[in-house]
Chain A
Amino acid sequence: MSQYVLRRLMIAIPSLLGISVVLFVVLALAPGDPFSELATNPNVPPEVQAALRAKFGLDDPIHLRYLHWLNAMLHGDWGFSFVSRMNVDTLILQRLPATLYVIGSAQILALLIAIPVGVYAATKPYSLFDQIANTLAFVGFSLPTFFTGILFILIFSVTLDWLPFVYTTDIKGTGIHWVLEMIRQAIMPVAVLGLFQAASMTRFVRSAMLDVIRLDYVTTARAKGLGQAKVIVKHVMRNAMIPVVTLIALQMPAVFGGAIVTEQIFRIPGIGSLLISSILSNDTPVVMAVTFVFACLVVLFNLIADVLYGWLDPRISLR
């Protein structure tokens, strides 16, 4: 087991290096300039712009810039934001709590809806419940989040005036009032994201369950006289969860990455909105760091998924 994990980690290193090279080159080739806003400012002479470019190493050849970056990264220096003139890791850490809270809650909500609904729908395929669940799932993943987000804002904020639509990180008040406000402002974004995720996940859980539920060993378990609940939970679900685990594991990086569109609509100061504003202002060190963190997370969660398979199904060998 530990050998397996170690081997997988060793394989991860060259792939991460490869990813970083690709990211770096793509970002370096991308058009744009972090100091573009200065170009139309009549008070800033071109020499100042040129000096800034030189200071931030933008005029060095690309391979040198990559080596500088890699060296710094190995020493734990994530880079220095052109736009904010502060360390990139500080910027990311500032954004992490909001992302984890909102997107994490949305994932939990999605799981809480998808697993029971998917499992129950699979036990009674083509029943009325299944039909309704299916229809809603289709509606759910056909509606993009920017549409449902704005719809929610129009209904719950503008018309009914129940919920705020601007997310604030510094809610005044303490104790229970603070908790309630935190929940209140997260309801809309969490619902928008959670329902969207739940829709596709429900379909996935249902079909995974249906694949397993028809197998002979399930019939055997039933023939032994085991109750329906026991058969479904202990025998069917455990096996059906393997593809679901893969799906969830691969979605975990997205939790850290935030949901760019939703964060923009509700002004959630998460990593997604940091990424988009950095891309728009050509703040390459931040874009590089955030995308590289994503790459690491994808590799890491793939590994975790592999390890989880072994636990869910001991037949899958880890050699």
Chain B
Amino acid sequence: MLDKELRSMIGQVKDGRMDRRAFITRMAAVGLTAPLANQILALGGVAMAEGASTYKPTKRGGGGALKLLWWQGPTLLNPHFATGTKDQDGARLFYEPLACWDPDGNMKLVLAAEIPSIQNGGLAADGKSVTWKLKPGVKWHDGAPFTADDVVFNWEYAKDPATSALTIATLRDITVEKVDDLTVRILFNKPTPFWADAFVGAPNTIIPKHLFKDYMGSKSREAPTNLSPVGTGPYKFVEFKPGDLVRGVLNPDYHMPSRPYFDSVEMKGGGDAVSAARAVIQTGEYDFGWNIQVEDDVLLRLEKGGKGKTVYAVGGDTEFIALNFTDPNTEVDGERSSIKTKHPLFSDPAVRKALSLLIDRESVKKAIYGRAGRTTANFLNGPEKFVSKNTSWEFSIEKASKILDEAGWKPGADGIREKDGKKLKLLYQTSINGPRQKTQAIVKQACQKAGIDVELKSVVASVFFSSDVGNPDTYSKFYADMEMFQIPLSQPDPSQHMRRYLSTLVATKENKWQGTNFPRWVNKEYDATIQAADGEMDPVKRAALYIKANDLMYQDTVFIPVQHRLKVEAAANNLRPVVSGWANETDNLFDWYREE
């Protein structure tokens, strides 16, 4: 879309000639909707829309118990220490952020009184600061008032490396200052187009200063409140058993009207996804089951005449096959897959191109992911605004064979193609996980037909995803030709996600394989594009840059996207959960209710 046209549309929305909905529909038509469409408006001078609420109950409480089943239960309840989403989910029952994301990627206010915009003075035009107004009258569960001091404290607490808070990454490069008791200002050291990171969403909830102030730095682990949270949320803490149970009761002083609906909440951990689906859908012992990554035909069978159903939320998670641009079989200075080498087969673009034609995404969807997957040609699949429309995918063994033939890869006596004495034999690794092994089998079969021999390897997830320097089977060492997994897009913005593949961040022995660019792909144009996007305040130009970055990856076949994966949850038939693909499952818990 043309810059000028967009500006005039924003103008129309501003003076009321076009309504917000029409604007978003127009944007959708050109591939620019969802969370960041609203940020476009915010930066264009129109306030970001507040997510519409579907909450119906008119009085607080009376909903009985809400029983949640997390097959991996939370193991700790201090949001700053959360190592995985399960811990954030548990902490979010009690602690709250300033705002959270609704299913459409719109911002919903929680502890903030209004969404910062240029008009209300919340957003600086240069993108270097954002000012949040806090809701007055909010109280912690122990009765102490919630103020700007608490917000500032969270920043001080987490940015101290001795605290070893995992939220340090979000908070260390910003400055948080108190303007008055109910106003805080966040200063960025460079123009920041995506300003809604710190204190927004379940990973960034706020803990009380008065209970944690004596436990900063190296004493952080001694705080008694680590295990018995005192928050501002809809439920008050009752009991916590790591990995097993979190329990809370209704907070009668909750700051949102007629909420929460349920009198108590219980989050049970343990077991596996299939039996969790069974306990929710089939026997109805639980109201909600988290992250039901189960094959679709099993779910369909359970849903027949069951007491529950599956619920889907669209986010930006892409299951992909990454190709190794370096040689995993040659050792240089004691390092395999060294950046000093070139992959003997993949250095021929024709081989990469042919492989991308051999991934039968439609069959993978049909046989494995079902309703929980969408086929895609893109690595970056969300938010909508950033999704490229310039790409396409195809499954064709004939075309792949033709490309290989033309590039000089001729079938040998054993049917495997070869060129200059190099055979097309590939090692394809992934983590142990039912759907992944099935996908491997589908890919292997197609490759075989095209004369490519694929050896499959599966590694236990705890090893595959570990940062253990001594282990050769980690995804970051990448001692294979291709590997498959997904990297979750944890916020409605692609900047963190796309920055991983800068050529300066290649995983090497020198950086203990902690570099995030594991395909070891080096492309100067990509680097320039990402760097430009990082500082680009014009939302339209910025989106265009990320689309270009995605297209560069597509042209070079760095990643072969297998499936755009949706979040799958199980819910009782009468439960009305609000689940966003851009947030943790419990992020919108205050809006959940039961239809009588």
Contact = CB atoms under 8 A, between A and B. Distances in A.
Given A33-B468, A41-B490, A264 B270 contact: yes
B594 interface: no
A280 B243 contact: no
Contact of B465 (A37, A45, A80): A37
B490 A35 contact: no
A84 B82 CA distance: 9
Nearest to B282: A158
Nearest to A36: B466
A135 interface: no
Interface string B325-369: 000000000000000000000000000000000000000000000
A76 B236 CA distance: 34
Given A31-B470, A166-B271, A91 B203 contact: no
Given A51-B164, A273-B243, A274-B243, A35 B270 contact: no
A140 interface: no
Contacts of B247: 170
Interface string B498-527: 011000000000011011100000000000
A153 B277 CA distance: 13
B242 A84 contact: yes
A185 to B, nearest CB: 10
A42 B473 CA distance: 20
A79 interface: no
Contacts of A166: 69, 268, 271, 279, 285-286
B514 A49 contact: yes
Contacts of A91: 242
B463 A31 contact: yes
A40 B467 CA distance: 10
Nearest to A53: B467
Interface in A46-63: 46, 48-52, 55
Interface string B150-178: 00000000000100101011100000000
Contacts of A51: 161, 164
Contact of B285 (A37, A38, A165): A165
A40 B286 contact: no
B487 interface: yes
Contact of A86 (B76, B166, B497): B76
Contacts of A25: none
Nearest to A270: B244
Contacts of A164: 283, 285
Interface residues of A, number: 51
B456 interface: no
B278 interface: yes
Nearest to B476: A39
Nearest to A48: B168
A85 B78 CA distance: 10
A264 B76 contact: no
A161 B285 CA distance: 10
A161 B84 CA distance: 35
A86 B490 contact: no
Contact of A43 (B169, B468, B473, B485): B169
Contact of B169 (A44, A81, A280): A44
Interface string B286-311: 10000000000000000000000000
B394 interface: no
B270 A267 contact: yes
Contact of A33 (B269, B272, B467, B485): B467
B283 A43 contact: no
B440 interface: no
Interface of B is mostly: loop
A273 B245 CA distance: 13
B467 to A, nearest CB: 5
A161 B283 contact: yes
A71 interface: no
A41 B88 CA distance: 13
Contacts of B164: 48, 51-52, 55
B245 A282 contact: no
A165 B268 CA distance: 13
B169 A46 contact: no
B464 to A, nearest CB: 8
A169 interface: yes
Chain A CB within 10 A, most for which of B278, B286, B466: B466
A269 B169 contact: no
A42 B496 contact: yes
A265 interface: yes
Interface string A74-99: 00000011011110000100110000
Interface string A167-185: 0111010000000000000
Contacts of B476: 39
Given A38-B166, A83-B75, A164-B285, A46 B511 contact: yes
Contact of A269 (B168, B243, B490): B243
Nearest to B264: A172
Nearest to A172: B65
B389 interface: no
B462 A281 contact: yes
Nearest to A52: B164
Nearest to A46: B514
A45 B516 CA distance: 9
B241 interface: yes
A265 B279 CA distance: 12
B570 to A, nearest CB: 13
Chain B CB within 10 A, most for which of A40, A49, A169, A265: A40
Contacts of A49: 467, 514
A157 interface: yes
A282 B466 CA distance: 10
Contact of A158 (B278, B286, B487): B278
Contacts of A40: 465, 475, 485, 487-488
B266 interface: yes
A277 interface: yes
A116 interface: no
A68 B470 CA distance: 22
A125 interface: no
Interface string A25-37: 0000001110111
30 contacts: A31-B462, A31-B468, A31-B471, A35-B83, A39-B467, A39-B474, A43-B170, A43-B203, A45-B169, A46-B467, A52-B164, A81-B75, A83-B75, A83-B76, A83-B242, A86-B76, A94-B244, A95-B241, A153-B275, A165-B275, A165-B279, A166-B285, A166-B286, A169-B245, A267-B269, A267-B270, A267-B271, A269-B245, A269-B270, A277-B72
- Lowest 6 CB-CB distances: which A-B pairs, in order? A46-B514, A269-B244, A33-B466, A36-B466, A267-B270, A84-B242
Given A80-B221, A169-B245, 8 more contacts: A31-B470, A32-B462, A32-B463, A36-B468, A42-B516, A48-B169, A267-B269, A269-B244
